[in-house]
Structure 1
Amino acid sequence: MTSHETKKQLTKEFSGLKYILTSEMRSKLLLTIYDDSKNLDDLRNELKKPSATILHGLKELENNNLVRKVQKYYELTSNGYLITTNMIKLIENWYSVNKSKLFWNNHDLSDLPDDALKNMYLLKNAEYVNSTTSDLSNAFNAYIKQISKARKLKIILPIYSENHFRHLITLLDGNELECLELVISEELENAMRQNEYIKQSILENEKVRIKTIKNNVKLFLTISDEAVCLTLFFKDGHYDDSQILIATDDEALKWALNLSAYY
């Protein structure tokens, strides 16, 4: 968690953040010259604003050591580059959370570590899938579709679900799945060992590696060769199988692997 002193410092620095974000011109100027320096004509053509407005914004950024002029071209200073990089991250985080706001609003996020929460932008391409009254299995079927052709699976499994076990056993019995890594709590492992069929088919299967953690976690994360799937728990503690996030890009894989490594 952020310390009290750090929070006080963040509050002080908010004025600087507000200075950038409350000005559409200042924000757009930083974003426009982020990848490449631009002259006034370039900026006027891209921003569709008069020279006087652009020059006023550039002067303000120069005074704050965020932009400098080299001959006829404007470029970011090192401070400007760092600020703009993190501004982009903030915008992408905002977009990612807002895009799947129903998913995040409905669930308990307490077992997502700070780094996972701060890097939500890595999930900006994730697809939100939910079940409906006409198709109660929509989310689960989307999950099974994603794992059905996997060669390797890494799963943080928080629930005892014979429905999930049955599909995993089918995959293990086939030729596609080469390796299954399960991260489970001591309590869940003990429960699985009470069922002889699950014990032999999963826990004692040579394709399966078990990593046991002391406590259960309120998230169900699956990482395959091509997809990341995340389901969570309601705030009342019950597991929700009706809503899922699915992503198939490298950024989401990076987010999921970091979360998996944390546990």
Structure 2
Amino acid sequence: MSKNENHEFKNIKYILTSTMRTKLIISIYEKEKNLEELRNELKKPSATILHGLKELENLNFVKKINKNYSLTSNGYLLAVNMLKLIENWYSINKNEIFWNRHDLKCIPKDLLKKLYQLKNSYCINSTNDDLSKALTTYIELLGESKNLKIILPIFSEIHIENLLNLVEKGIINNLSLITREEIIESINEHPKFKEILNLNNVKVTTLNLPINIFLTCSDEFISLTLFFKDGHYDDSQLLIDRSEEGATWGKSLFEYYLGKEDDKEKMIVE
């Protein structure tokens, strides 16, 4: 860490280790406020609030114009990143077991920094009483979908047959599939399944690299299942998000892997 980065780290730490300073930054981020508004909102005496405001003014995060307090440009940037940090932390803690038990190396760092976009996600967990709960839920979700983007890391007769049936019945209009070359080979070995690769509304991208992520993006939801840290696929936990932010995160992850095909083509040309 450079000298400047270390200085900024100390400033951020100084803010986050104080509930009052943190609340003041977030409150003023929403709109500029006077002392009375801050006192009524934070339920703290004027002396406590004024002390916190003075500390933030000394760091050039807050400025006072007439009787109102607002954020400086530095304060505004700090607030934006603080809120992302808080939302990230909330999102991680909300589904703590899911994130802790799985291998996350398959998710690019830029998207791990944006887990706040999955703050509305929730987990479906299979149980001893219902071992197929996650799978059943996933299949039900596909029945709601018209357009699908899927990263398929495993060969599964259940999944492939279900996708084929949904496409043939016209429930799914378009299917974009990213998978590994050996999975395509396995599909081709099954006369029952291989026709899915030749359907006009099915686009298949093959990658010759490990894909330890099962992602599905539709107009209605995204879902995610991952691998354990020992390399085995876990079908017992399904992460689902139906929000617009979640859709953005999922599509970004899909595009990231789709770009791996472009990288492969560039290498061939060169």
Q: TM (normalized to structure 1)? A: 0.95
User: Matches of 1:128 and 1:154 in 2, distance apart?
Assistant: 20
> Does 2:223 align with 1:196?
no
Distance 1:10 1:198, change over 3 A: farther
Q: Post-superposition shift, 1:166?
A: 1.4
Q: Read off the aligned partner of 1:78 and give its amino acid letter.
A: S
Q: Post-superposition shift, 1:216?
A: 2.7
> Does 2:207 align with 1:213?
yes
Point out 4+ residue stretches in structure 1 off by more than 6 angstroms.
none
Corresponding residue number in structure 2 for 1:145: 140
Q: Do the aligned residues in 1 keep the contact of 2:144 with 2:220 (CA within 8 Å)? A: no
Provide the alpha-carbon RMSD of the alignment. 1.3
Distance 1:82 1:105, change over 3 A: same
SS at match of 1:134: coil
> Does 2:187 align with 1:171?
no
Q: Read off the aligned partner of 1:244 and give its amino acid letter.
A: L
Corresponding residue number in structure 1 for 2:238: 244
Distance 1:89 1:176, change over 3 A: same
> Does 2:42 align with 1:54?
no
Q: What aligned pairs does 1:60-209 form with structure 2 within 5 A after superposition?
A: 60-200=55-195, 202-209=196-203
Distance 1:52 1:248, change over 3 A: same
Q: Post-superposition shift, 1:82?
A: 0.4
Q: Post-superposition shift, 1:33?
A: 0.8
Q: Read off the aligned partner of 1:216 and give its amino acid letter.
A: P
1:231 maps to which of 225, 231, 234: 225
User: Matches of 2:131 and 2:6 in 1, distance apart?
Assistant: 45
Which structure 1 residue ranges, 5 or more long, are not aligned?
none
User: Matches of 1:34 and 1:174 in 2, distance apart?
Assistant: 51
Corresponding residue number in structure 1 for 2:262: none
Post-superposition Cα deviations, 1:150-203, rounded to whole Å, max 9, x if no partner, equal 110000000000010111111011122110000011222122222222111x11
Equivalent pairs counted in the alignment come to: 257
Q: TM (normalized to structure 2)? A: 0.92
User: Matches of 1:13 and 1:39 in 2, distance apart?
Assistant: 28
